[in-house]
Amino acid sequence: MIKEELWQAVLAQVQLDISSANFATWFKNTAIVSYKDGQILVCVSNSFAKEWLENKYGKTIFKILYNLDKDIKEVKYEVGKSELKTLKRSQPAIPQPGQLEFEEFKIDKETHLNPRYTFENFIVGPFNELAQAAGWAVAKKPGLVYNPLFIYGGVGLGKTHLLQAVGNAVIKNSSQKKVKYIPAEKFTAGVVSSIKNHDMENFKTKYRATDVLILDDVQFLAGKEKTQEEFFHTFNSLYESNKQIILSSDRPPKAIPALAERLRSRFEGGMIGDISYPDYETRIAILKAKCQEKGVGFPDEITDYIATNIQKNIRELEGALNRLVAYQKINNQAPTLESSKALLKSLLLSPNRVASPKKIIQIVAEFYDLKEKDLISSSRKKEIVRPRQIAMFLLRGELKSSYPFIGRKFGGKDHTTAIHSCEKVVKELDEDENLSNEIGLIKQRIYSG
């Protein structure tokens, strides 16, 4: 049992740090096959993955394992499909209560829904109750109440969970309904490859034959004109036949850059619900619920410590908990507050959560769908000037950078330009609520990976 749990702890942690596509690519079908004399042997499915795990994640993996069990001295990797198969067969078909699972690997082939995301395990608080209620109503009567349903909010706050909960509930209510979940990035890739392979008709039919189409993270449609056009037609076709469309984004439709006006107005035509940050009580409630799900319990001082230190991301809240759960299972006792702090230290101080000038410039450029070099150019175009001012403002506010330093970072501008930019943003913040939302979203991206 120990081997599985150690590896689950590694997966739980690594998953937080990398994209889900990468996670699936490198960690699918991995397992610890033996643990002897301080040596761990990890089995992977091909030599490419072996190299990646060794070189890219080797150190991280070792650290996580060593933190959990100080007897571990070395981690080795080997390619070994056959062993994995026997390992799989010997695993119980139904997961034991409390075992961490990676249902990312159990996604339904047809709907692309993950069975883990349901309304039953979606905790409701003031920060998400409107969005949840709207989702619930849509699940009851798809196509008939709010169409489209547009949910927005920052990273790790439950958008995907809610969208998929609606999809899973629709199927539970009536199994004939055709539901499809697709991240906007995948939809875009689908459009591109269908064009290349002259297979557009097939692509069209696939999405237009659904009763509920869920498109996640539509901010990724920014600037993708052909995909937007295709989605516009799909949208209309579904909408006209009273089929449900559900969308999510990290920001409201009007703040998505380079989005065709006709699509924006479609997105705004139904119900828009936002998810903000969970308050302290809800964070505690989420932790308690997850503990119950996993069949473990921690003293209040520990849940309080987690809820106090992780405020803006439910995925991280879960990640922290998973680490402590792994510790508890392996050591057969609950961690003390002191050992919890030590176990969570690297999570709370992860480089992902630290800002740098480079990162700010990169994220602001990404957010407004600009190139970094435009941001540091001297272009006076309005759509560039404002993001540039915001980036300068963030360098000042988040990093306490000096004005001359900021000027230099932005292509050798004078410090007075930097002063002027920062002051302009401060002044506008007073008058423009949208701006403060936008800056909030950018900050969240800066600190969440």
Binding stretches for ligand ADP (CB under 6 A): 121-123, 128, 153, 155-161, 286, 314-315, 318
Across-strand partners of 149?
A: 246, 271
In the complex, the smallest distance separating the C-beta of residue 158 from Mg ion, rounded to whole angstroms, is 8
In the complex, the smallest distance separating the C-beta of residue 333 from ligand ADP, rounded to whole angstroms, is 26
- 437 makes contact, choosing from Mg ion, ligand ADP, none, with CB < 5 to 8 Å by partner type, with none
- 214 makes contact, choosing from Mg ion, ligand ADP, none, with CB < 5 to 8 Å by partner type, with none
Residues binding Mg ion (CB under 5 A): 159-160
In the complex, the smallest distance separating the C-beta of residue 22 from ligand ADP, rounded to whole angstroms, is 15
The angle subtended at Cα 427 by Cα 403 and Cα 274, nearest 5°, is 110
User: Cα–chain-centroid distance for residue 69?
Assistant: 29
Taking the least distance from each CB to Mg ion, the nearer of 13 and 219 is 219
Taking the least distance from each CB to Mg ion, the nearer of 122 and 393 is 122
Three-state SS sequence of 262-330: HHHHHHCCCEEEEECCCCHHHHHHHHHHHHHHHCCCCCHHHHHHHHHHCCCCHHHHHHHHHHHHHHHHH
- 219 makes contact, choosing from ligand ADP, Mg ion, none, with CB < 5 to 8 Å by partner type, with none
Question: CB of 436 within 8 A of CB of 393?
Answer: no
Taking the least distance from each CB to ligand ADP, the nearer of 364 and 441 is 441
In the complex, the smallest distance separating the C-beta of residue 153 from ligand ADP, rounded to whole angstroms, is 6
Count of residues for the chain? 449
Taking the least distance from each CB to ligand ADP, the nearer of 84 and 296 is 296
Which residue's C-beta sits nearest to Mg ion? Answer: 160
In the complex, the smallest distance separating the C-beta of residue 112 from ligand ADP, rounded to whole angstroms, is 14
Cα–Cα distance for residue pair 115/103, rounded to 1 Å = 8
Cα–Cα distance for residue pair 46/27, rounded to 1 Å = 11
Taking the least distance from each CB to ligand ADP, the nearer of 339 and 352 is 352
Q: DSSP letter for 216, please.
A: E
Taking the least distance from each CB to ligand ADP, the nearer of 182 and 286 is 286
Is residue 335 reached through a cis peptide bond, with omega within 30 degrees of 0 on the bond before it? no
